[in-house]
């Protein structure tokens, strides 16, 4: 499931998003039981932009990834242990030629 919003006024623009990865399900051909408990995750993102003109803007982005106790989703590019949550920040300037 994913839900997002994007809005702005004047030189400002804001965006937010929630992405939810469910735990899923499993079955074995032998009929033995299996579990997907703890395999879900939630990703929350917020962003803002301030445009100076058609070519130049500043931006800031924040993302929080909340892994279940058995999941290993990773949006940081750094090796993580299973179940580890992450926070990511980005700021920058964009200039188009």
Decide: 55 and 95 in contact? Cβ < 8 Å.
Answer: yes
Nearest-angstrom CA–CA distance, 16 and 37: 28
The mean predicted confidence, pLDDT, of the chain is 93
Look up residue 80 and give its two tokens. Answer: 């993580």
Instruction: List pLDDT tens digits, range 35-83.
Output: 888 999 999 999 999 999 999 999 999 999 999 999 999 988 888 899 9
The DSSP result for 5-46, as a single string, is: EEEEETTEEEEEEEEEE-------TT------TT--EEEEEE
Instruction: Report whether pLDDT(89) > 90.
Output: yes
Instruction: List pLDDT tens digits, range 2-28.
Output: 999 999 999 999 999 999 999 988 888
Residues with Cβ < 8 Å from 86, sequence gap 6 or more?
A: 63, 64, 65, 74, 75, 76, 80
- Going from N- to C-terminal start, the domains of the chain cover 2-23+38-95
Please choose, from the candidates 89, 33, 94, the residue with its C-alpha nearest in 3D space to the C-alpha of residue 65. Answer: 89
Q: For residue 5, what pLDDT is reported?
A: 97
């Amino acid at each position: 499931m994913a839900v997002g919003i994007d809005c702005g006024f004047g030189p400002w623009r804001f965006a937010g998003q929630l992405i939810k990865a469910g735990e899923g399900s499993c079955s074995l051909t032998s009929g033995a039981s299996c579990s997907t408990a703890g395999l879900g995750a939630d990703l929350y993102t917020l962003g803002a932009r301030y445009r100076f003109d058609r070519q130049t803007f500043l931006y800031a982005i924040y993302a929080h990834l909340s892994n279940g106790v058995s999941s290993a989703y990773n949006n940081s590019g750094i090796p993580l242990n299973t179940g580890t949550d992450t926070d990511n920040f980005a700021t920058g300037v964009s200039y188009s030629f």
